Protein backbone atom coordinates (compact mmCIF):
# COMPACT_ATOMS: atom_id res chain seq x y z
CA UNK A 1 0.00 0.00 0.00
CA UNK A 2 1.15 3.55 -0.74
CA UNK A 3 0.49 5.49 2.47
CA UNK A 4 1.77 8.89 1.33
CA UNK A 5 3.69 10.58 -1.47
CA UNK A 6 6.11 13.45 -1.08
CA UNK A 7 7.44 15.52 -3.96
CA UNK A 8 6.89 18.66 -6.00
CA UNK A 9 3.49 19.71 -7.34
CA UNK A 10 3.62 19.21 -11.10
CA UNK A 11 -0.04 19.85 -11.97
CA UNK A 12 -3.45 20.51 -10.48
CA UNK A 13 -6.87 20.51 -12.13
CA UNK A 14 -10.52 19.74 -11.35
CA UNK A 15 -9.85 16.03 -10.86
CA UNK A 16 -6.83 16.19 -8.57
CA UNK A 17 -3.11 16.82 -8.52
CA UNK A 18 0.06 15.28 -9.95
CA UNK A 19 2.98 14.91 -7.58
CA UNK A 20 6.44 14.54 -9.14
CA UNK A 21 8.45 12.06 -7.08
CA UNK A 22 11.96 11.73 -8.51
CA UNK A 23 10.77 12.06 -12.08
CA UNK A 24 7.63 9.93 -11.73
CA UNK A 25 4.28 11.73 -11.77
CA UNK A 26 1.66 10.28 -9.43
CA UNK A 27 -1.93 11.25 -10.26
CA UNK A 28 -3.76 11.76 -6.96
CA UNK A 29 -7.50 12.42 -6.70
CA UNK A 30 -8.21 14.82 -3.83
CA UNK A 31 -11.33 16.37 -2.23
CA UNK A 32 -10.10 19.89 -2.96
CA UNK A 33 -7.30 20.08 -5.57
CA UNK A 34 -7.25 23.87 -5.32
CA UNK A 35 -6.02 23.68 -1.73
CA UNK A 36 -2.68 22.57 -3.18
CA UNK A 37 -2.61 25.04 -6.07
CA UNK A 38 -0.48 27.69 -4.34
CA UNK A 39 2.20 25.26 -3.16
CA UNK A 40 5.40 25.53 -5.14
CA UNK A 41 7.73 23.65 -2.80
CA UNK A 42 7.54 20.04 -1.63
CA UNK A 43 4.10 18.65 -0.86
CA UNK A 44 3.23 15.65 1.28
CA UNK A 45 -0.06 13.95 0.48
CA UNK A 46 -1.52 11.16 2.61
CA UNK A 47 -2.96 8.58 0.26
CA UNK A 48 -5.28 5.63 -0.12
CA UNK A 49 -4.28 3.08 -2.74
CA UNK A 50 -7.42 1.73 -4.41
CA UNK A 51 -7.43 -1.26 -6.75
CA UNK A 52 -10.37 -2.54 -8.77
CA UNK A 53 -10.66 -4.74 -11.83
CA UNK A 54 -10.43 -1.93 -14.37
CA UNK A 55 -8.36 0.71 -12.57
CA UNK A 56 -5.68 1.46 -10.00
CA UNK A 57 -6.13 4.85 -8.33
CA UNK A 58 -4.55 7.01 -5.65
CA UNK A 59 -6.78 9.19 -3.48
CA UNK A 60 -4.97 11.85 -1.47
CA UNK A 61 -5.56 14.09 1.52
CA UNK A 62 -3.90 17.03 3.20
CA UNK A 63 -4.24 15.54 6.70
CA UNK A 64 -4.25 12.16 8.44
CA UNK A 65 -7.75 12.89 9.76
CA UNK A 66 -9.10 13.11 6.21
CA UNK A 67 -7.28 9.92 5.25
CA UNK A 68 -8.65 7.99 8.26
CA UNK A 69 -12.23 9.20 7.74
CA UNK A 70 -12.07 8.38 4.02
CA UNK A 71 -11.07 4.79 4.81
CA UNK A 72 -13.84 4.46 7.39
CA UNK A 73 -16.40 5.76 4.91
CA UNK A 74 -15.41 3.02 2.46
CA UNK A 75 -16.63 0.47 5.01
CA UNK A 76 -20.18 1.82 4.70
CA UNK A 77 -22.36 -0.10 2.25
CA UNK A 78 -23.12 2.01 -0.80
CA UNK A 79 -20.15 4.38 -0.40
CA UNK A 80 -17.32 4.01 -2.87
CA UNK A 81 -14.16 6.10 -3.27
CA UNK A 82 -15.79 8.81 -5.39
CA UNK A 83 -18.70 9.31 -3.00
CA UNK A 84 -16.32 9.30 -0.01
CA UNK A 85 -14.22 11.93 -1.78
CA UNK A 86 -17.33 14.04 -2.34
CA UNK A 87 -18.20 13.81 1.36
CA UNK A 88 -14.79 15.19 2.29
CA UNK A 89 -15.16 17.90 -0.35
CA UNK A 90 -18.47 18.87 1.23
CA UNK A 91 -17.45 18.99 4.89
CA UNK A 92 -14.47 18.95 7.20
CA UNK A 93 -13.71 15.66 9.01
CA UNK A 94 -14.79 17.30 12.29
CA UNK A 95 -18.13 18.41 10.86
CA UNK A 96 -18.88 15.04 9.26
CA UNK A 97 -17.94 13.17 12.45
CA UNK A 98 -20.10 15.51 14.52
CA UNK A 99 -23.06 14.94 12.19
CA UNK A 100 -22.68 11.17 12.45
CA UNK A 101 -22.40 11.22 16.24
CA UNK A 102 -25.42 13.53 16.53
CA UNK A 103 -27.38 11.51 13.93
CA UNK A 104 -27.84 14.75 12.02
CA UNK A 105 -29.35 13.38 8.81
CA UNK A 106 -30.23 16.89 7.61
CA UNK A 107 -26.54 17.76 7.42
CA UNK A 108 -25.41 14.42 6.01
CA UNK A 109 -27.98 14.42 3.18
CA UNK A 110 -26.67 17.80 2.02
CA UNK A 111 -23.28 16.25 1.28
CA UNK A 112 -22.70 15.38 -2.41
CA UNK A 113 -24.00 11.93 -3.35
CA UNK A 114 -25.63 11.16 0.01
CA UNK A 115 -29.32 10.26 0.21
CA UNK A 116 -31.30 9.55 3.34
CA UNK A 117 -30.71 5.78 3.32
CA UNK A 118 -26.98 6.18 2.89
CA UNK A 119 -26.90 8.80 5.66
CA UNK A 120 -28.71 6.36 7.95
CA UNK A 121 -26.18 3.64 7.13
CA UNK A 122 -23.34 6.07 7.90
CA UNK A 123 -24.79 6.68 11.35
CA UNK A 124 -25.48 3.00 11.98
CA UNK A 125 -22.07 1.77 10.82
CA UNK A 126 -19.80 4.54 12.07
CA UNK A 127 -21.32 6.20 15.13
CA UNK A 128 -19.73 3.84 17.65
CA UNK A 129 -16.42 3.72 15.77
CA UNK A 130 -16.19 7.52 15.79
CA UNK A 131 -17.11 7.92 19.45
CA UNK A 132 -13.56 8.67 20.55
CA UNK A 133 -12.69 10.99 17.68
CA UNK A 134 -11.59 14.48 18.69
CA UNK A 135 -13.63 17.48 17.60
CA UNK A 136 -16.88 15.56 17.42
CA UNK A 137 -18.81 18.25 19.28
CA UNK A 138 -17.99 20.93 16.72
CA UNK A 139 -20.95 23.00 15.57
CA UNK A 140 -21.97 22.11 12.03
CA UNK A 141 -21.56 25.02 9.60
CA UNK A 142 -24.37 25.55 7.11
CA UNK A 143 -24.78 28.03 4.27
CA UNK A 144 -27.28 30.82 4.60
CA UNK A 145 -30.49 30.88 2.60
CA UNK A 146 -29.13 33.84 0.70
CA UNK A 147 -26.16 31.85 -0.52
CA UNK A 148 -28.35 28.94 -1.54
CA UNK A 149 -30.56 31.20 -3.61
CA UNK A 150 -27.77 32.81 -5.56
CA UNK A 151 -28.38 30.62 -8.60
CA UNK A 152 -32.13 30.93 -8.83
CA UNK A 153 -33.00 28.27 -6.27
CA UNK A 154 -31.21 25.36 -7.97
CA UNK A 155 -31.27 22.31 -5.69
CA UNK A 156 -27.78 21.33 -6.85
CA UNK A 157 -26.43 24.79 -6.06
CA UNK A 158 -28.12 24.75 -2.67
CA UNK A 159 -26.20 21.57 -1.83
CA UNK A 160 -23.00 23.01 -3.30
CA UNK A 161 -23.40 26.16 -1.19
CA UNK A 162 -23.80 24.03 1.93
CA UNK A 163 -20.62 22.18 1.04
CA UNK A 164 -18.68 25.42 0.49
CA UNK A 165 -19.89 26.75 3.85
CA UNK A 166 -18.72 23.54 5.50
CA UNK A 167 -15.29 24.19 3.98
CA UNK A 168 -15.21 27.58 5.70
CA UNK A 169 -16.12 29.99 2.90
CA UNK A 170 -18.09 33.11 3.84
CA UNK A 171 -21.62 33.83 2.60
CA UNK A 172 -20.38 36.73 0.46
CA UNK A 173 -17.85 34.47 -1.28
CA UNK A 174 -20.47 31.76 -1.87
CA UNK A 175 -22.95 34.32 -3.24
CA UNK A 176 -20.33 35.64 -5.66
CA UNK A 177 -19.54 32.15 -6.95
CA UNK A 178 -23.25 31.37 -7.16
CA UNK A 179 -23.97 34.35 -9.42
CA UNK A 180 -21.10 33.36 -11.71
CA UNK A 181 -22.30 29.76 -11.90
CA UNK A 182 -26.03 30.56 -12.27
CA UNK A 183 -26.34 29.19 -15.82
CA UNK A 184 -24.30 26.08 -15.02
CA UNK A 185 -26.48 25.33 -11.99
CA UNK A 186 -29.71 25.79 -13.89
CA UNK A 187 -28.48 23.61 -16.78
CA UNK A 188 -28.46 20.57 -14.51
CA UNK A 189 -24.77 20.38 -13.55
CA UNK A 190 -24.20 18.02 -10.61
CA UNK A 191 -23.49 19.21 -7.08
CA UNK A 192 -19.97 17.75 -7.18
CA UNK A 193 -19.16 19.54 -10.45
CA UNK A 194 -20.56 22.82 -9.10
CA UNK A 195 -18.42 22.53 -5.96
CA UNK A 196 -15.29 21.97 -8.05
CA UNK A 197 -16.05 24.95 -10.32
CA UNK A 198 -16.86 27.17 -7.34
CA UNK A 199 -13.57 26.19 -5.62
CA UNK A 200 -11.69 27.11 -8.79
CA UNK A 201 -13.41 30.52 -8.92
CA UNK A 202 -12.82 31.16 -5.22
CA UNK A 203 -9.17 30.23 -5.49
CA UNK A 204 -8.70 32.59 -8.42
CA UNK A 205 -10.42 35.35 -6.44
CATH 1.10.8 residue ranges of the chain are 145-204
What is residue 197's predicted lDDT score, i.e. its pLDDT? 80
Q: What's the rounded Cα separation, in Å, for the pair 152 and 123? A: 32
Q: Could you report the per-residue pLDDT of 93-149, keeping only the tens digit for each?
A: 888 998 999 999 999 998 888 999 999 999 999 988 886 444 434 444 433 333 444
d(CA 85, CA 61): 10
What's the CA gap between 99 and 109, in Å, rounded?
10
pLDDT for res 195:
78
Chosen CATH of 64-126 out of 1.10.150.20, 3.30.300.20, 2.30.110.10, 1.10.287.3510: 1.10.150.20
Kindly report the pTM of this predicted structure.
Answer: 0.66
- CATH: 3.40.50.800, 2.40.50.140, 2.60.210.10, 3.30.70.1230. Which one for 4-61? 2.40.50.140
Nearest to 59 by CA among 28, 33, 34: 28
Query: pLDDT tens for residues 48-95?
Result: 999 887 888 999 998 899 999 999 999 999 899 999 999 998 888 888
Lowest mean pLDDT among 17-26, 31-40, 141-150: 141-150
pLDDT band at 166 (very low <50, low <70, confident <90, very high): low
Contacts of 143 by beta carbon, 8 Å cutoff, 6+ apart: 158, 161, 162, 164, 165, 171, 174
* CATH number for the domain running over 145-204: 1.10.8
Amino acid sequence: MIDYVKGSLALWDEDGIVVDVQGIGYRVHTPNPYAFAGLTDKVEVYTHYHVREDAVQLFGFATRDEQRLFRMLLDVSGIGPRVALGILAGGTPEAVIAAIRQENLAFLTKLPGIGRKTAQRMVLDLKDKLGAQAGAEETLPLASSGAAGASGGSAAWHEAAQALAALGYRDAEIDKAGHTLREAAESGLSTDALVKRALQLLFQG
